[in-house]
Structure 1
Amino acid sequence: MLALGLYKRGLLKSVPRVRFNSSSSSASGTTPFSWADYFQLKKQNNRINFVSGIFTGIGGSLLTLGYLGNIEIDVEKPIMGFDPIMVMGGAVILGGFAGYLVGPFIGQFVFQVMNKSRLRQYDAKNSFFLSRLKNKRPDPSSQSFSNPIPDYYGERIYSLKDYRQWLRDCNAFRRKAKEFL
């Protein structure tokens, strides 16, 4: 606006043009962050979280097994009416499950450290992408066993092709829900 006012007064010979599109690079001179880059980082984030969940799950079960192996339990006396070996096995499984749930927290930290330079751009695209999903997703109140809602949170969208297919699936869901109600 300032440049336009200066141009009208004759102080500038031309009005500078500014382009506002997502493919232009930022003012810092970094490379542009495309949707393909976003989906690649999203896939990397999910893989890191999954692998760290597996490792922390194994670690949690091993820690639980190590703890239960060091306490003294009478194997002939039931624990809350159950066989002690079954209770200890269930505790090891619960320890592994708890470890698996802790894994994505560690994985998110690893992902942030690995992609520190592009994290702000990734978060901005992720926020925009999630708002698009929220606006485009159909109403789940009309789902049924024969017409399930397609990927409500968009967790399986890893490319523009997947996103377009998700939009087609959502439109098909809306059409089926409208026709059969």
Structure 2
Amino acid sequence: MLKYRGIGINSVGVSRGLSAWRLKTPSYTVPRLSRFNSTSTQPSASLNWVEYFNLKKQNNRINLASSVITGALGGLLTLNYLGNIEIDVEKPIMGFDPFIVMGGAVVVGSGIGYLLGPFLGTPFFGLLNRASLNQYKIKDQLFLQRIKLKRVDPSSQSFSNPVPDYYGERIYSLNNYKQWLRDCNAFRRKSKEFL
């Protein structure tokens, strides 16, 4: 018989005393124990920081790829729409040459498509990492709390002393985080010296 926190568990199931006690208190749930000789694999309880940073990098790459794709599609759709409209090339549009206006419209369509990319990339990232998505979100909140706690006050920035990555968007590894902390300390030191 195996003992877990004073609860007797045998190879068949839970002992009689626990099942009778569990019926009296329905809010109590018995923790699941995995057998050591079991072939099933269970996901880890939480992500470590290396896994979190790898997922963060993967999320950024997926969002960037989807932004490039939707930006190209937005530009092509705008170009396709403007190609089917009859425009008199001799008459200016709002005082500008029609080709300049059409080129600007294609650039604007591409920009809007690029901005819509993360709306498609984030759900795709969630589908790829369904098993660890909740743990990733919890770790992301912890990371953002650390960034808020350690980041510098941007009111004392200057051209020669820029703020180091205020939101921590370019931190994708523990080494990047350590370097960011060193940059924040250097910023604080420089801002105190020049005040």
* SS at 2:122 equivalent: helix
* Unmatched 5+ stretches in structure 2: 6-31, 35-41
Q: TM-score, normalization: structure 1? A: 0.84
Larger Rg belongs to = 2
1:30 aligns to 2:43 (yes or no) = yes
Match of 2:10?
Answer: none
- The equivalent of 2:135 in structure 1 is 121
Is 2:164 aligned against 1:163?
no
Which string of whole-angstrom CA distances, capped at 9 and with x for unpartnered residues, describes residues 72-115 of structure 1? 11110000000001100110011001000000110111101111
Structure 2 residue 104 is matched with structure 1 residue 90: yes
1:33 to partner: Cα distance: 1.5
Counterpart of 1:64 (choices 74, 78, 83) is: 78
1:143 paired with 2:152, answer no
Could you tell me which residue of structure 1 aligns to residue 124 of structure 2?
Answer: 110
Q: CA RMSD in A?
A: 1.7
Paired residue for 1:46, among 45, 60, 64? 60
Q: Aligned equivalents of 2:124 and 2:175: distance in 1?
A: 28
**Size of the alignment, in residue pairs?**
158
- Give structure 1 regions of 4+ aligned residues with deviation exceeding 4 angstroms: 26-29
| Post-superposition offset of 1:27 | 8.0
Which whole-Å CA distance do the structure 2 matches of 1:113 and 1:42 have between them? Answer: 15
Q: Percent identity over the alignment?
A: 66
| Residue 177, structure 1, aligned to residue 191, structure 2 | yes
CA–CA distance in structure 1, aligned partners of residues 60 and 33 of structure 2 = 30
Q: What do residues 150-174 of structure 1 show as CA deviations (whole Å, max 9, x unaligned)? A: 0101111111111011001101100
Q: What is the one-letter code of the residue matched to 1:126?
A: D
> What amino acid is the match of 1:33?
L
| Match among 94, 98, 109 for residue 80 of structure 1 | 94
Report the alpha carbon displacement of residue 180 of structure 1 after superposing the two structures with TM.
0.7
Task: Render the CA deviation track for 1:105-152: whole Å, top value 9, x for unaligned.
Answer: 101111011111100000000000000000100100000001001010
The structure that is helix-richer by fraction is 1
Unaligned runs of 5+ in 1: 4-25
Q: 1:46 to 1:136 in 2, by over 3 A?
A: same
Counterpart of 1:146, as a letter, is: S
Structure 1: which amino acid aligns with 2:93? I
Distance 2:189 2:52 in 1: 30
- TM-score, length-normalised on structure 2? 0.78
